[in-house]
Amino acid sequence: MKYLLLIQSNPANWATLTQSEQDGMMTEYRALTQEMVESGEHLDGGPLTDPQTTRTVRVRDGRAEVTDGPFAESKEYLAGYYLVDVESEERAVELAKRIPDARFNAVEVRAVMDMGGLES
Amino acid sequence: MSALVEGLLRELAPQALTAVLRYGADFGAAEDAVQEALLAAAVQWPGEGVPDNPRGWLVRVASRKYLDWRRREAARLCKEAESVEWSRPVEVDHCDELTLLFLCCHPALSRPARVALTLRAVGGLTTEEIARAFLVPERTMAQRITRAKRQVATGGLRFTPPPPHEFAQRMDTVLEVLYLVFNEGYAASSGVEVHRAALTGEAIRLARQLHRMVPDNAEAAGLLALMLLVDARSAARSDGGRLVPLREQDRSKWDAGRIAEGIALVESALRDGVVGPYQVQAAIAALHDEAPTAEDTDWLQIVGLYEVLERLSPGPVVRLNRAVAVAMADGPHAGLALLAGLDDDPRLARHHRLAAVRAHLVELTGDHARAVELYRAAARATASVPERDYLLGRADRLTRG
């Protein structure tokens, strides 16, 4: 089963961390990523740029409107993601618990829809 | 390379691997040696013709490649080349193939690792083929296989048959791996995902091999029968990517040959062996396959078999299926009563199947408004696109009246 682990973060919180705290978190991230790569569970992932760099696209009546800034105003933003292929939802949750940002904000675990199904 | 040579090499590769493993090679080295031998065969055989004893040829070349590697390794370590006795004739028998399967499905490995290693080492699929079938990048699958091999090496897992007191339990993990492979392919085969659908064929091939290795094992026969009896319906179960439920399938599209083979297998297994869950599930599939129309299904007997299955392997999914059978035999209210106990089961709480089954039974009671709600709730909870479309279609049909 494939799951997207959505890492929510508050840029203001991140700014309050000391350099060594930030370095510590990055080390944790690298170790976790490395572990998931080695177990054959990691498909993709990475940090996203600051929300202020967002460009939002809307198409209305065939015309595209592009604005600077995120779609919804919020304190928390999607700061990064992992796409994993794991044995069960429990395993996806287990990995999410170990994402450093889960301690400060939250990580959402969402299953990716599958094109297969069973007739009943 | 001709399809004939390719098929032959695929069949022989696991046997060559077991032969090299028997000489005490570790998994990685043994596999490298076999790969080199396969390459040599693929180059030589089409031109020079297939040797009289292709298996012997492959085993000999693979063993020599492994020995060469050992010598090089020994030389690299500035040691005397180890003297290995290679002259005794190499006999690969079913016993070795079975041992390889037991090793690949070892309980010390994670489930995805067992599946990947089995398809790679016993099925002879390439890493790329396995990756495509499971819709993951090749790099990811390569990691999974490498890790599995490392676990075999570091965990001290040996290429020896399990001791007698562990045999039944270890056989369960082998059967489970083959069934996982089958289901992965079967769930996908409604769509355009031919690479995943190929997994059902591979699972059946492996289950056939296993059945040949242990003809007296009733559950191995039961699993093969179950796969054949379920796969027999594959041509009727989708209509342009849309899932067609069993009761609406065009039964003339079912594969009569597979059904006959499956029924013969399960009948003889049930007659001669110890009854187990795979045989019972195969017997249930057989009753569906034998019914000329959905209305003619022998629901009473299916209810009886689900009761046996629930005693053998209790669980919420078996209860769900039993409830459907009871509803068909004794009416929807009897089925709904059985579902009542499942609401508090944490294993089903977030699962769409409970809502989907309840929706179906509620529809049969005539309460269409409630059924629509339940179909939509089930559609929101499923992670399968064709299942979601099917459930929303049922809801739409009821709202339109």
Q: What is the pLDDT of residues B199-231, one digit of tens each?
A: 899 999 999 999 998 999 999 999 999 999 999
**How many whole angstroms separate alpha carbon A92 and alpha carbon B385?**
21
- Per-residue pLDDT of A81-117, as tens digits, reads 999 999 999 999 999 999 999 998 999 999 998 877 7
- Percent over 90 (pLDDT), chain A: 70
CB contact under 8 A, B136 and A85: yes
- Percent over 70 (pLDDT), chain A: 99
Least confident of A7-16, A72-81, B19-28: B19-28
pLDDT for position B366: 96
Q: Distances from the Cα of A77 to the Cαs of A9, A50, B133, in angstroms?
A: 5, 9, 35
DSSP string, B358-372: HHHHHHHHT-HHHHH
**Residue scoring higher pLDDT (B111 or B70):** B111
Rounded to two decimals, what is the model's pTM?
A: 0.80
Chain A residue whose CA is closest to B247: A120
**How many whole angstroms separate alpha carbon B134 and alpha carbon B353?**
23
- Per-residue pLDDT of B45-78, as tens digits, reads 888 888 888 888 888 888 888 887 776 665 554 3
- The mean of the pLDDT values for chain B is 86
Cβ count within 10 A of residue B79: 9
Q: In the predicted model, is pLDDT for residue B194 greater than 70? A: no
CB contact under 8 A, A38 and B356: no
A-chain residues near B144 (CB < 8 A): 39-40
Q: What is the mean pLDDT of residues B107-125?
A: 89
Of the partner residues B141, B193, B383, the one whose CB lies closest to the CB of residue A40 = B141
Q: In the predicted model, is pLDDT for residue A58 greater than 90? A: yes
CB contact under 8 A, A43 and B384: no
Of the partner residues B136, B141, B191, the one whose CB lies closest to the CB of residue A116 = B191
pLDDT for position B206: 92
CA distance A16 to chain B (A): 36
CB contact under 8 A, B386 and A85: no
Chain A residue whose CA is closest to B351: A89
Q: What is the mean pLDDT of residues B168-188?
A: 90
DSSP string, B198-233: HHHHHHHHHHHHHHHH-TT-HHHHHHHHHHHHHHTT
CA distance B141 to chain A (A): 6
Alpha carbons within 13 angstroms on the beta-carbon side of residue B88 total 8
Chain B residue whose CA is closest to A83: B136
CB contact under 8 A, B383 and A111: yes
pLDDT band, residue B41 (cuts 50/70/90): confident
Which residue type is seen at B67? Answer: L
Report phi then psi at B20, rounded to 5: -70, -40
pLDDT for position B307: 96
Q: In the predicted model, is pLDDT for residue B88 greater than 50? A: no
pLDDT band, residue B1 (cuts 50/70/90): low
Q: What is the mean pLDDT of residues B37-43?
A: 83
pLDDT for position B92: 47
Chain B residue whose CA is closest to A119: B245
3-state secondary structure of B1: coil
B-chain residues near A116 (CB < 8 A): 187-191, 193, 196, 384, 386
pLDDT band, residue B155 (cuts 50/70/90): confident
CB contact under 8 A, A120 and B249: no
pLDDT for position B195: 65
CA distance A91 to chain B (A): 12
pLDDT band, residue B383 (cuts 50/70/90): confident
Of the partner residues B142, B192, B243, the one whose CB lies closest to the CB of residue A117 = B243
What the block records as the tokens of A20 is 């060594």
Going by C-beta distance under 8 Å and a sequence separation of 6 or more, which residues neighbour residue B211?
A: B217, B220, B221, B224, B265
Q: What is the mean pLDDT of residues B259-272?
A: 95
Q: In the predicted model, is pLDDT for residue B375 greater than 50? A: yes
Cα angle value B131/B127/B61 (rounded, 5°): 165
pLDDT for position B397: 94
Q: Which of B217, B111, B221 is nearest to B173 (CA)?
A: B111
Which range is most confident: B53-57, B67-71, B163-167, B249-253?
B249-253
pLDDT for position B300: 96
Of the partner residues A42, A85, A115, the one whose CB lies closest to the CB of residue B386 = A115
pLDDT band, residue A71 (cuts 50/70/90): confident
CA distance A32 to chain B (A): 15
pLDDT for position B281: 97
